[in-house]
Amino acid sequence: MMSGDPFNAFALPARYNASRLLWDNLAERADRPAYYCDDGVWTYRTLAQEAARIGNALLALGAVPGDRVMMVMADVPRYPAAIMGAMRAGLVPILINTLSPPDLLRFYLEDSAATVAVLSPAFHSLFDRDFRAGTALKAVLVDGDAVLPGQTDWSVVRDASAELAEAPTGPADMAFWMYSSGSTGRPKGVIHSHGDAIYTAETYGRHILKIGPDDICFSVPKVFFAYGFGNSVTFPMAVGAAAVLYSGRPDPAAIFQQIAKHRPTMLFGLPTLYTALMRHADAEGADLSSVRLCLSAAEVLSAEISEAWAARFGLNIVEGLGSTEMLHIYLSNTEEDRRVGSAGKVVPGYRVKLVKPDGSEAGDDEEGVLWAQGHSALAGYWNRPDKTSETLRDGWVQTGDRFLRDADGFHYFRGRADDLVKVSGQWVYPLEIELALNEHPKVHEACVLAMEMPDRRMTIRAWIAPRDGLDGDAALEKELQDYAKATLLPHKYPRRIVFLNALPKTGTGKIDRAGLRMLAEKSEGDGG
């Protein structure tokens, strides 16, 4: 599909459906493992047959090509089968965060006008008649036999044909959605096209992962997350490799057990995961000898954890940066060429530029807002023309993230474009303080935010989970404040530190910054 410059050489036929990622494996790799899970092994043949049955069942339930299908599913093989089957039938699967509260699920239903929902058993009780009333839902399909009135059990899938013709879609046609988490306001429906997923395989998958048919991917971030979708679905399917799907909670002991049981060759995580794994008691005896490559994305990994991981397991953690809007990673380090704390260089097949406030491009060692370009970029936001025009500009995606690029082409995250705040008359980037605190030996995890006080002045607050066995007391608060002042500048320190046993996480494994801010604002409102 590509030769030479991946950006200019990428081409797909006029008729293309993203389900070919799965079906193209049937000619030569039908009996190879596609997924390992605690319930057994699924081959590509089994997966494609289940996908066809699901696609046929969705059509039988009244969905027509172009309809949205809301999927609230655990990470089990039927999830990627449902995604592929829906797309092959010309439907548009929407991958939903399984930790979404009921009011947000209702928003997704109303916003997307989904006509069918596909649910894992754990979620079917939410979708009762009252919850569905007033929406466009025609049917609710449950992966199980126990259903509520008005829902359909999995027998309709078991009875459906295992053959399904490919819908006549093109590379630019709507294929699937994910909702952006959104730091403010309601999440936005991010529309991706049929050509987007294969492009990430031809770029990041080929050039950074160098994935082959004998690899086994284990992504701790779930399939509903754009990062997890690529790791568990796109990349392995594109080359006939396998993936491990784990539907449980990502606690360190369970993750080490999954690695020991399934022997993956690639491990995908977030900095919060690697921090938790490295500081867990099981790390000392864990066997990661099957793993050839460890990947991290979404947030900045601390140098301490990176170095400790390499010392313990003999593996460097390769960091990168991606987004739901770009579908996967477009800036990345490599095993051979890496800088700790950097998002890396531009992945072949993508273009980026750093734009200064005056609209000119930043040079080396200058900060600017990151703009990205690549064939996997979103087509737009559903029903949000204002946000679409704000983000998509002349073929570029304006990310809103500030970066600095050094003379060697490595990019360093400097925070959001609107994160600069004035505290006591001096400018401060909260992220800079957070990165410093995360390097302190007594800190397990830190989150630093700017908060507005009742008199409209800004202050800096930190939430910190101390290392095991340490108390978050006044002495530790002063020690950390002094450390930040000495490491950075005297005015760059958190005026208040809140100690927690653990920092809350979003469904994608990131620190829940919005949740911490809301709790702080509520506490201030209650006089706490």
**Domains of the chain listed by start with CATH number:** 44-169 (3.40.50.980), 196-416 (3.40.50.12780), 421-525 (3.30.300.30)
**pLDDT values of the chain reduced to their tens digit, one per residue, 528 residues:** 665 577 787 889 999 999 999 999 999 999 999 999 999 999 999 999 999 999 999 999 999 999 999 999 999 999 999 999 999 999 999 999 998 889 999 999 999 999 999 999 999 999 999 999 999 999 999 999 999 999 999 999 999 999 999 999 999 999 999 998 654 568 899 999 999 999 999 999 999 999 999 999 999 999 999 999 999 999 999 999 999 999 999 999 999 999 999 999 999 999 889 999 999 999 999 999 999 999 999 888 888 899 999 999 999 999 999 999 999 999 999 999 999 989 999 999 999 999 998 999 999 999 999 999 999 999 999 999 999 999 999 999 999 888 999 999 999 988 777 677 767 667 688 888 998 899 999 999 999 998 887 766 688 999 999 998 898 999 999 999 999 988 887 888 999 999 999 999 887 778 888 889 888 877 665 544
Q: Is the dihedral of CA 241, 245, 251, 254 positive or negative?
A: negative
Q: Among residues 257, 393, 236, 241, which one has the least CA distance to residue 325?
A: 393
For the stretch 505-525, pLDDT in tens is 887 778 888 889 888 877 665
DSSP classification of residue 149:
T
DSSP classification of residue 7:
H
Coil, strand, or helix at residue 478?
helix
Q: Which amino acid is at 487?
A: T
Listing DSSP states for 381-441 in one string gives ETT-HHHHHHHEETTEEEEEEEEEE-TTS-EEEEEETT--EEETTEEE-HHHHHHHHHTST
Q: Is the dihedral of CA 414, 420, 421, 423 positive or negative?
A: positive
Model's pTM, two decimal places? 0.85
Cα–Cα distance measured from residue 71 to residue 231, given in angstroms and rounded to the nearest whole number: 18
